[in-house]
Structure 1
Amino acid sequence: MEGASYDYSCLPLVPLVSVFKYLDLNSRCSTMAVCRKWRSVMLSESIWRETIYDVPGKWKDPAKALERIAEDFGRWHRKVTIRMKGGDPKVVFVTMNLICALSELLPRRIQSLTIQCVLHGGFFRHADEFKLCLRNFFDKSPISYGNQLTGLHYVDLSSVIVSLHDPLFAALFNNHGQWLTHVNLQNKLAHCRITVTAMKAAVKVMKQVEDLRICMASIDNDGLQAMIANNQGSLRHLSLLCRYVDGFRQNRPTDDAWRAFNNRWPQAAVTLIFTRNYPIDKFRAVMLPSVPLKTVCFEQPVDTSTIGLITDMYKAKLYKVVLRSKPADYINNQLVSLVLDSPHLRVLYIMHNLEFATATLINERKPKIKHNINFQDENVRFEPVPEEESLRPFVPKQVTSKIMKFPYSNLWKHRED
């Protein structure tokens, strides 16, 4: 009925909890002041298990407000996301203050930590102090604090615009390595300073990791072999971010190491991401025949030989192909061969002027493929694809053990006889 008002305070407890979970922090604090019932609902643990801190947020004093929320409700956090909106010193200071407040919590049950930099303009100041706050957060180990502190399972620092280095990484894997299952340290906007020595030591500790996303510069042949020898879990995905210098390195993982990787995890998927400045003639240095490549993303222009290379080597494996720049050559024919010869290809994102006949052929022969091709009369346009979507890799689902069947299915029939 138009103009009617509703008393939402009379809603049962379960619907209220389901709704309040999706409120941002400002709305949560405002909701607590409505009535006693809503305040009691807001004080339930399930609402604060997943929390997103927007920095600076809509607060008069963001540092005090977010610190107070962390102190009051942080003991219930399981999954924490910190979104830094901007890179000015005020935002960095508030974020550092928040990280320090979360690190001092006892008991601390945080299992997932994601830090995102949105609306940034490049590197922000006080990067060393910021890394020191992160290191202080990672330094606290469940082994030292017993049941007062839970080990981290999920860490995503891929959009933190600071250069990650060995001391910070060592604090993470030394204190939480045995619990880590998902680690994302790929940052295209900052130089990677994690050495192959630190990564080799890390993979020996991270024995349960399932999804590891790192820079190619941080892993060598010995590091990959150490991962194969020490991982006790089921690795499902390994992603490598390749920069300019990786095309000239001499200690990259060899074809024999990748073959051992395949034997150890037959269902695992590998993602290769090539940045814009990667040398176009050095793809063969990284793309070896034994690499179980499922997702490949080229941010720089590619030529016909590159498309032919991935078609010849990986047509039976590829799941997703992303071309984020206009090609250096005429690649329409090679692109058709890639799509038609790859039986498992499900996603194709391209950012260049494809011929109408080529686009029509791809659409007709592969109608179920997900793409960004838009047909307008006799023209072909390409819908913009968000970077997060274009870089989202194919990760095999976790395989659960099948329930053991009873060996005598007709036991009761025999007993009746």
Structure 2
Amino acid sequence: MPKETIPLIADWSRLPDITLLNIISYLNFEDRKAVATVCKRWYKLVNCATVWKNVVYEIPGQWARPLSSIGTVIARFGSFHRHVSLRLRSSEGSCIVIATEMLNKLAAIRPRNIESLRIELTDRARVFHRNDYFLLSVKNFLQQRPNRELVPVSRIHLANMVFPADPTFLQAVTLKISDYLTHVNIQAKSATLLLSASSLASLVKKWPNLIDLRVLNVSFSEDVLKSLTDTNHSAFRHLALLYTKQDKYYRRVVPDQLWLEFSRRVPNAIISISVDVTLPFSGLLRFVTKSMPLWNLYIESRVNAHQFNQLTMKMNVSLRKLVLRSIPTDNIEEVLKSLVDRFLNMKVLYIVSNVKLQTIEYIQRKNPKLRHNLSGTYSSILTLSDSELYGNIRSP
């Protein structure tokens, strides 16, 4: 029997509501406006709360009149928002005004149901961090005390936003939502002024319900780990450390016994390590210890077989995901074989490398459930999306 094929539906009006809702959710706001004019059914779908739960405000985007258009969208659908992303693609003064005004309008929504705020800045929009009005609008949005009409923000993603290194800024921002914060991402790669380890340790003590913390390694220390161990031992699940060129000069290494204590007191927590392309791979070796509950390792800098083998010997056998985003400097096939032999519970292996067929067959035989991108030619890292590679971190 030939496999039955699904007939192509030329008339979109015949699609079920749930399918149309998913399609509409991917459209930008101007296109949604056009879709709403097609018929009464589509108008109702565009105005459905489901469509407006997760929104991305892109500035500058495809707006006819940015300020008035964004204001109209927020006034009409802002109360449906749950997860808001603000994506800034330019450093022009008009964009600063729009972004600031947009945050002020979001802050004024009643009832406000926003649980997650994500601010993304591209390389061309770095000067946003120098604008006091924009920072004040961020602070105003996050500082409002939760009540019946104001759901507390529990997730803040400021990884691309270069905020002042002065800890009082983050303390002020999180003061009234500190008891509600569960996910905090402050891995700002382009930071010129860095949050000190002592400041981060004091902040972590004020976040008792923290589940997921993502920071630069230069802001991490023994004190931060002790704060996590003592304050969040019941709830904490994931710590992500980003290593950058600044780690060349960073000498503090968390001792093995502290990682052991952390694993004992917080048994469900996992560690993810990301190595930026600006840090030589050798710079990572001194930070990794056997007692670190390392589950996910993402390396952008180039590796060689000897250094890579040294690292695998230092790692705990709990490793689940390994991603190498640069072509290795030499042949690492033997290291890959020993890796699969040692880390029996590994789930994902993605590398950019030319691997022999015999090695691929060996890996598949040893771990048939392993998801990988190995082939006889240069393997493409793009076979998985970034969300699959880096997102959706699950606790054990």
> When the two structures are superposed, what TM-score results if normalisation uses the length of structure 2?
0.84
* 8 A Cα contact 2:153 2:180, kept in partner: yes
Is 2:75 aligned against 1:74?
A: no
Give the secondary-structure state (helix, strand or coil) at the position aligned to 1:66: helix
Structure 2 segments unaligned to the other structure (5+ residues): 1-6
Q: Distance in 1 between matches of 2:278 and 2:24?
A: 46
Alignment match, 1:261: 262
Give the secondary-structure state (helix, strand or coil) at the position aligned to 2:101: helix
Alignment match, 2:4: none
- Give 1:59 shift: 1.9
Q: Distance in 1 between matches of 2:207 and 2:236?
A: 11
**Range moving further from structure 2, 355-364 or 175-184:** 355-364
Q: Distance in 1 between matches of 2:172 and 2:343?
A: 43
- Give 1:123 shift: 4.6
Alignment match, 1:236: 237
Q: Which amino acid aligns with 1:383?
A: S
- Give 1:41 shift: 5.3
* 8 A Cα contact 1:204 1:230, kept in partner: yes
Q: Distance in 2 between matches of 1:48 and 1:291?
A: 40
Q: Distance in 2 between matches of 1:372 and 1:71?
A: 46
Is 2:149 aligned against 1:139?
A: no
Q: 1:390 to 1:253 in 2, by over 3 A?
A: farther
1:45-124 to structure 2, matched below 5 A, reads 45-117=49-121, 120-124=122-126
> When the two structures are superposed, what TM-score results if normalisation uses the length of structure 1?
0.81
Give the secondary-structure state (helix, strand or coil) at the position aligned to 2:159: strand
Q: Which amino acid aligns with 1:152?
A: V
Give the secondary-structure state (helix, strand or coil) at the position aligned to 2:118: strand
Is 2:335 aligned against 1:337?
A: no
1:383 pairs, out of 355, 380, 389, with: 380
The higher radius of gyration belongs to 1
Q: Distance in 2 between matches of 1:152 and 1:136?
A: 12
Alignment match, 1:406: none
Q: Distance in 2 between matches of 1:315 and 1:290?
A: 6
**Range moving further from structure 2, 25-34 or 237-246:** 25-34
Is 2:359 aligned against 1:361?
A: no
Q: Distance in 2 between matches of 1:81 and 1:243?
A: 25
Give the secondary-structure state (helix, strand or coil) at the position aligned to 2:148: helix
**Range moving further from structure 2, 67-76 or 17-26:** 17-26
- Give 1:201 shift: 2.0
Give the secondary-structure state (helix, strand or coil) at the position aligned to 1:30: helix
Q: Distance in 2 between matches of 1:208 and 1:151?
A: 13
* 8 A Cα contact 1:349 1:390, kept in partner: no
Structure 1 segments unaligned to the other structure (5+ residues): 399-417
Give the secondary-structure state (helix, strand or coil) at the position aligned to 2:378: strand
Alignment match, 1:215: 216
Aligned residues: 385
Alignment match, 1:395: 393
Q: Distance in 2 between matches of 1:393 and 1:56?
A: 26
Is 2:282 aligned against 1:292?
A: no
* 8 A Cα contact 1:294 1:394, kept in partner: no
2:130 pairs, out of 128, 131, 134, with: 128
Alignment RMSD (CA, Å): 3.2
Give the secondary-structure state (helix, strand or coil) at the position aligned to 1:381: coil
User: % of aligned pairs identical?
Assistant: 25
**Range moving further from structure 2, 210-219 or 301-310:** 301-310
* 8 A Cα contact 2:351 2:381, kept in partner: no
* 8 A Cα contact 2:89 2:124, kept in partner: no
Q: 1:11 to 1:248 in 2, by over 3 A?
A: closer
Q: Distance in 2 between matches of 1:359 and 1:76?
A: 48
**Range moving further from structure 2, 385-394 or 133-142:** 385-394
Q: 1:112 to 1:372 in 2, by over 3 A?
A: same
Residue-by-residue CA offset, 1:291-330 (whole Å, 9 max, x unaligned): 0011112211223343223332335211111222233444
Q: Which amino acid aligns with 1:128?
A: R
Give the secondary-structure state (helix, strand or coil) at the position aligned to 2:303: coil
Give the secondary-structure state (helix, strand or coil) at the position aligned to 2:158: strand
Q: Distance in 2 between matches of 1:360 and 1:60?
A: 55
**Range moving further from structure 2, 388-397 or 106-115:** 388-397
